[in-house]
Amino acid sequence: MEGIINFFKPEGMTSHDAVYLFRRLLGMKKVGHTGTLDPMATGVLPICIGKGTKVSDYLSNVDKEYIAEMTLGVKTDTQDSTGKVIETSLKKVSKDEIISCFEGYIGDIEQTPPMFSAKKINGKKLYDLARKGIEVQRKKNKITIKKLEIINIIDNKRVIFKVLCSKGTYVRTLCNDIGEDLGTYGHMSYLLRSRVADYDVNSALGMETLKSMTKDELVRIILPLDSALTHLPEMQLDSSFFKPLSNGVKLEIDNVDNLVYNNPIRVYVGGVFLGIGKVYTDNDKVILKMEKVFNG
C-alpha cells in the first residue's frame, strides 16, 4: 500500500491523531501527514501511506487555501477562539475600512509566528513554552498571500474570507494583525482548509466514511504517489531509461527548455511514474539525476 488519502480532518482532532487513525485502519506503521492542521481547524489533511511518506516534504511546500472567519473586537493569547481573552475593544469599524485593510495584506508580507504554534526555537516547541507562561523573541517570516477574498462581512464585526497563501502562513496571525491594524483587535473564530495542491475539500473523505470501509475498500481509494506532485514540472522518457535511472545512473539528456534547472521534477519512463529527479548542467552537458525512485 502506497499513495495519498485525501482526508477531511474533523474539529478537535490533532494531525497526530489522524496519523494514528490511519495506522489502525490500514494495519501499518508507515503513515504520515503533510503539515500540521490545528485541532480547531477542519478540512483537507493529505495522509501519506507507505512510500507516500517520501513525497510529504514536497507537498508541505505547496500553497494552501483556507476559508476562515475573523471576529473583531477581541484579542486572545492563541489568536483564535480556543484561547484566553486578553484584550477587548468597543471600537466600531466600517465595511470600507475592513476592505481596505484586507487589500493591504495581499502580496509578500512578514509575519511573526504565534507563541501557540508547533514552530521550534532552540529545539523547543513554542506552544510548550507558551503553556508555561514563557514568551520568547521570534523572527518574522516572509510569506506570500496570493489571494485574499472577502466572502461576507457581518455587522462589521465578523468577516468570512478565503485566502490562498504560501507555506508558513498562520491564518490566525493574519486575523490578529488585521485586527491590530484596524485598532479594534481580532482573532480567528473558524478555519477550514479547503485545498492543498490538487487535494480539494469537495473530494476529501470524512472519518465516519473511512471507518465504515473494509480494508480492501480503503486500499482502492488510495490515490497514486504522483497525485501529490502535480505542482512539479514533468519529464517523459522512453522505457529504455528505466534501468539506468532506477540504479542511480546520471544520464546526459537533450536540453529541456520548459524545466527549471536544479529544481525537482516528476520523471516518467514509458508512461510510468519513476520518481523525482533534477536536471542540471555539468561542463555544458545537461544531466538528469534521480533523487527519489518510487517504482524502480
Q: What is the CATH number of the domain that holds 104?
A: 3.30.2350.10
Among residues 38, 80, 177, 226, the one annotated as catalytic is 38
pLDDT band at 210 (very low <50, low <70, confident <90, very high): very high
Inform me whether the pLDDT recorded for 129 exceeds 90. Answer: no
Q: Is the separation of the CB atoms in 279 and 292 below 8 Å? A: no
Residue 78, pLDDT score: 93
Same-domain check for residues 27 and 109: no
pLDDT band at 107 (very low <50, low <70, confident <90, very high): very high
Identify the weakest region by mean pLDDT among 41-45, 180-184, 249-253: 249-253
Between the alpha carbon of residue 169 and those of residues 64, 78, 112, 153, 206, the distances in Å are: 9, 15, 10, 23, 25
What is the number of domains present in the chain? Answer: 3
Inform me whether the pLDDT recorded for 168 exceeds 70. Answer: yes
Residue 255, pLDDT score: 65
Residue 113, pLDDT score: 83
Distance CA 255, CA 252 (A): 9
Residue 258, pLDDT score: 66
Same-domain check for residues 123 and 156: yes
Same-domain check for residues 239 and 147: no
Average pLDDT value for residue range 24-44: 91
Helices (H) and strands (E) in the chain — how many of each? 8, 19
Q: Which of 206-210, 236-240, 289-293 has the highest mean pLDDT?
A: 206-210
38 in catalytic set: yes
Domain membership of residue 241 as a residue range: 234-293
Residue 143, pLDDT score: 94
Distance CA 17, CA 26 (A): 14
Q: Is the separation of the CB atoms in 30 and 48 below 8 Å? A: no
Same-domain check for residues 176 and 215: no
